[in-house]
């Protein structure tokens, strides 16, 4: 599959595709011509003729253009086969949380989706945004949102070849309507890319059995009991309690038990304020801070991270699968904890820094950056091999301790984009937006076409 091309339209009725002369001759020689054309999941009969001007590019009749429902000024990739021609790829971004505002149909995510659709167009990917309520199951069509210089519009599309899952949170993902939509579209042979949010406990259990990556994992106990917490505190003096299905740092609390200090301290965030409380016993602390118990939490060892001006630092590393299906690092930034905050999340007062702003001041070399990248790629490959579904992007929170060892705190299937508010990360912002669609081209060739096995 070569580069995408704009397909000129000839003002004629009928469903005729005019093929490049060399391709037409190859079909003549093989005595076999395609009889159908596929656009997304839409397939219609087709007549093939040589290009009337003996040119080496495709052209189609106006009748074929309208029957397929192609977008204006959209370039397409074309895959030639003996029986069928595929044009596309057609990718649907599946989400929820639509508004009635025609200029901001996705609320504060509108700008993000506009960037995505622009990036898709640049790669020759036909892309639209849709929700469950935009699907006409009888007609097998979707009234999706597209974006161009004149703003947002709705356009009728066939079911896509690939769905890029961008549901905003776990609650919506678990709704019966979301589950049903995914199941029914997959039954239509739609490829589902980035199928769900990661569960912290499940990810940890998967990775701890892999000798290539288990050394990156902090000591972690799921649904910890009181004796286990006491043992962890005695060994590490600090532990973090994290909701198994939490995100953005929400619900994380830190327990501290210093040697020769009879009290237990807990740090947490409530009502946009970082707080510290003291308890005379661990039992009393757990009863007050976690009245529902710790069944849905995991306990993780505290690690003495590198710090800058006294504030701890960790690193956000984005990985994406590229045009060849291989993992690569697409973004890397440092996150600085806010004052008295237990996490580096921006929602808790954290700050994002580019590595160039930080490495020199820390007195570290480029070796640390290479080690962070190596860890992210290794873990990405490990997860790809163990998880169900097609994973194409991951956001990692990695830490480096004072001895230079690297630790993985979290892996996110739908990484947030708050780090890109730093203008020094603009190049990373663009790369992480366009790479999912480059991966869709890989899927289009190797999964939709079934030409070669999917790389793991």
Contact in structure between 98 and 106 (CB atoms under 8 Å): yes
| pLDDT tens digits along 308-318 | 777 888 899 99
- b/e sequence 133-164, b meaning 16+ C-beta within 10 Å: ebbeeeeebbebbbbeeeebeeeebbbbbbbb
Alpha carbons 309 and 362: distance in angstroms, whole number: 10
Buried/exposed 49-60: b ≥16 CB within 10 Å, e otherwise = ebbeeeeeebbb
Question: Cβ(314)–Cβ(344) under 8 Å?
Answer: yes
Residue pair 99/108 in contact (Cβ under 8 Å)? The answer is: no
By the 8 A CB rule, do 157 and 128 touch? yes
Q: Is pLDDT above 80 for 364?
A: no
With residues binned 3-state (H G I as helix, E B as strand, rest as coil), the percentages for the chain, rounded to 5, are 30, 30, 35
Summarize pLDDT for 177-209 with one digit per residue, the tens.
999 999 999 999 999 998 888 888 889 999 999
Q: What is the reported pLDDT for 407? A: 96
Give the mean model confidence (pLDDT) for residues 5-23: 92
Mean pLDDT score of the chain? 89
In this prediction, residue 363 has a pLDDT band, given cuts at 50, 70 and 90, of low
Residue 161, pLDDT above cutoff 90: yes
Residues 373, 329: contact at Cβ < 8 Å?
Answer: yes
Pick the CATH number of 91-193 from 3.40.710.10, 3.20.20.70, 3.40.640.10, 3.40.50.20: 3.40.50.20
Q: Which of 378, 268, 260 is nearest to 319 (CA)?
A: 378
Q: Strand, helix or coil at 12?
A: coil
User: What's this model's pTM, rounded to 2 decimal places?
Assistant: 0.89
Question: Running DSSP on this structure, what letter comes out for residue 346?
Answer: G
Spatial distance between the Cα atoms of 310 and 312, rounded to a whole number of angstroms? 7
DSSP string of 403-442, one letter each residue = TS-EEEEEEESS---GGGGSGGGHHHHHHHHHHHHHHHHH
Region 89-100 average pLDDT = 96
pLDDT tens per residue, range 253-277: 999 999 889 999 999 888 778 889 9
The more confident residue out of 445 and 127 is 127
- Contacts of residue 79, defined as CB under 8 A and 6 or more positions apart, other chains included, come to 1, 85, 86, 444, 445, 449
Q: Report the chain's terminal Cα–Cα distance, integer Å.
A: 21
* Arch. (CATH architecture) of 197-217+304-456: 2-Layer Sandwich (3.30)
**Residue 435 · residue 322 · CB < 8 Å:** yes
Spatial distance between the Cα atoms of 345 and 250, rounded to a whole number of angstroms: 9
Distance (Å, rounded) from C-alpha 127 to C-alpha 58?
21
Q: Measure the CA–CA gap between 14 and 8, rounded to whole angstroms.
A: 15
Chain position carrying tokens 């000129």: 8
> How many other CB atoms are there within 10 angstroms of residue 325's CB atom?
20
- What is the DSSP secondary structure assignment for residue 401, as one 8-state letter? B
* CATH 3.40.50.20 boundaries in the chain: 91-193
Residue 260's contacts (CB-CB under 8 Å, 6 or more residues apart) are none
Cα separation, 456 vs 380, whole angstroms: 10
- The bridge status of strand 47-50 relative to strand 42-45 is unpaired
Q: Flag whether pLDDT at 319 surpasses 90.
A: yes
Q: Which residues of 281-310 are buried (b: 16+ CB within 10 A; e: fewer)?
A: ebeebbeeeeeeebebbbbbbbbebbebee
C-alpha–C-alpha distance, residues 206 and 196, integer Å:
16
User: Where do you find CATH 3.30.470.20 in the chain?
Assistant: 197-217+304-456
Question: 40-79, pLDDT tens digit by residue?
Answer: 999 999 999 999 999 999 999 999 999 999 998 899 999 8
Answer whether 278's CB lies under 8 Å from 264's CB.
Answer: yes
């Amino acid at each position: 599959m070569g580069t995408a091309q704009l397909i000129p339209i000839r003002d004629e009725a009928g469903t005729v595709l005019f093929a490049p002369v060399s391709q037409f001759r190859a079909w003549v020689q093989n005595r076999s011509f395609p009889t159908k054309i596929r656009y997304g999941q839409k397939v219609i009969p087709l007549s093939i003729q040589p290009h009337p001007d003996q040119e080496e590019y495709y052209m189609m009749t106006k009748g074929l253009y309208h029957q397929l429902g192609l977008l204006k000024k959209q370039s397409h990739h074309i895959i030639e086969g003996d029986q069928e021609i595929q044009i596309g790829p057609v990718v649907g971004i599946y989400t929820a949380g639509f508004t009635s505002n025609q200029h901001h149909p996705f609320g504060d995510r509108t700008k993000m989706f506009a960037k995505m659709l622009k990036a898709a167009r640049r790669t020759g990917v036909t892309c639209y945004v849709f929700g469950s309520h935009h699907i006409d199951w009888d007609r097998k069509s979707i009234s999706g949102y597209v974006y161009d210089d004149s703003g947002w519009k709705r356009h009728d599309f066939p079911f896509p070849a690939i769905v890029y899952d961008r549901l905003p949170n776990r609650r919506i993902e678990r709704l019966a309507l979301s589950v049903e939509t995914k199941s029914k579209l997959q039954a239509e042979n739609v490829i589902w890319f980035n199928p769900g949010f990661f569960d912290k406990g499940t990810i940890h259990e998967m990775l701890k059995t892999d000798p290539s990556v288990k050394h990156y994992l902090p000591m972690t106990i799921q649904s910890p009991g009181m004796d286990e917490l006491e043992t962890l505190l005695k060994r590490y003096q600090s532990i973090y309690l994290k909701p198994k299905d939490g995100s953005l740092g929400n619900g994380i609390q830190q327990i501290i038990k210093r040697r020769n200090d009879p009290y237990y301290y807990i740090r947490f965030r409530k009502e946009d304020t970082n707080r510290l409380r003291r308890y005379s016993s661990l039992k009393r602390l757990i009863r007050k801070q976690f009245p529902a118990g710790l069944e849905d939490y995991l306990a993780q060892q505290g690690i003495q991270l590198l710090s800058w001006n006294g504030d701890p630092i960790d690193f956000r590393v984005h990985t994406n699968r590229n045009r060849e299906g291989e993992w690569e690092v697409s973004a890397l930034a440092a996150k600085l904890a806010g004052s008295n905050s237990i996490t580096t999340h921006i929602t808790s007062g954290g700050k994002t820094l580019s590595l160039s702003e930080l490495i020199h001041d820390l007195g570290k070399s480029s070796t640390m950056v290479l080690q962070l990248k190596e860890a992210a790629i290794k873990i990405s490959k490990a997860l790809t091999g163990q998880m169900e579904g097609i994973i194409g992007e991951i956001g990692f929170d990695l830490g480096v301790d004072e001895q230079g060892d690297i630790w993985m705190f979290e892996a996110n299937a739908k990484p947030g984009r708050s780090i890109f508010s730093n203008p020094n990360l603009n190049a990373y912002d663009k790369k992480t937006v366009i790479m999912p669609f480059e991966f869709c081209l890989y899927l289009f060739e190797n999964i939709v076409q079934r030409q070669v096995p999917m790389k793991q």
